A and B are shown apart, each in its own frame.
Chain A
């Protein structure tokens, strides 16, 4: 158990819909990262937040957005969902938000878009 929690574990929805994935970082960690894992794209970095502020962007689509709240939990919002958005979405956290910091991953949210 990494100490990072994600809800829900599974999510089934339809194309065109909007969903919100939630992540609570390890106690004391200030930085949160979101990743997408799919069979064709592998593991891809989406976005990073540090202490409530956006720190870095990866391959995140414009239909996707995220935020980190004052209590440091984070939400990833996926809208206008397409079949290709079906994937595992991981959240990770680290104490500091710098390259080289160990990132600890949550169990993931499995999204299925029908």
Chain B
């Protein structure tokens, strides 16, 4: 079975500071990994995905994530936080015959002015 662990249910950063949201996965097969963002009262928007083409994946809105097999991690980063980045972020995994996504519990990102 696959699983995802997101460390920190809430992360607070100052505007302009580095954003780092942590995600560790567990998978018995090479995983496909995703980051989604959910703004209040909206659906999930795909930020980026890893499908083994490159370990450093660039997404929308200045976000990127690095796949590290040795650490079973897929952390999400953004060099400079903006107020509009405040939202809930979900890491997800699929693969191994299961096409449905398995999501982490989410990290609420708070941006302080």
Residues of A within 8 A of B (CB): 2, 4, 31, 33, 35, 42-48, 55-56, 58, 90, 92, 97-108
Asked whether B101 lies within 8 Å of A103 as measured between CB atoms, the reply is yes
Q: Which of B36, B44, B51, B102 contacts A45 (CB 8 A)?
A: B102
Complex CA–CA separation, A4 to B104 (angstroms): 23
Asked whether A48 lies within 8 Å of B105 as measured between CB atoms, the reply is no
Task: Tell me, yes or no, whether B113 is within 8 Å of chain A by CB.
Answer: no
Complex CA–CA separation, A43 to B102 (angstroms): 8
Asked whether B43 lies within 8 Å of A106 as measured between CB atoms, the reply is yes
Asked whether B100 lies within 8 Å of A100 as measured between CB atoms, the reply is no
B105 shortest CB reach to chain A, Å: 5
Which of B14-22, B76-84, B88-96 lies at the interface?
Answer: B88-96
Asked whether B44 lies within 8 Å of A105 as measured between CB atoms, the reply is yes
Complex CA–CA separation, A61 to B12 (angstroms): 37
Q: Which of A2, A33, A108 contacts B100 (CB 8 A)?
A: A33
Q: Which 4 A-B pairs have the closest CB atoms?
A: A45-B100, A100-B32, A43-B103, A105-B43
Complex CA–CA separation, A33 to B44 (angstroms): 13
Residues on A with beta carbons closer than 8 Å to the beta carbon of B44: 43, 90, 92, 105
Task: Tell me, yes or no, whether B99 is within 8 Å of chain A by CB.
Answer: yes
Asked whether B98 lies within 8 Å of A99 as measured between CB atoms, the reply is yes
B97 to chain A: closest residue by CB: A99
B90 shortest CB reach to chain A, Å: 7
Asked whether A99 lies within 8 Å of B94 as measured between CB atoms, the reply is yes
Q: Can you sample 30 A-B contacts with CB below 8 Å? A: A2-B43, A33-B99, A35-B100, A42-B104, A42-B105, A43-B44, A43-B101, A44-B103, A45-B102, A55-B99, A56-B97, A56-B99, A58-B98, A90-B44, A97-B99, A98-B99, A99-B94, A99-B95, A99-B96, A99-B97, A100-B95, A102-B34, A102-B49, A103-B46, A104-B46, A105-B36, A105-B43, A105-B44, A105-B45, A108-B42
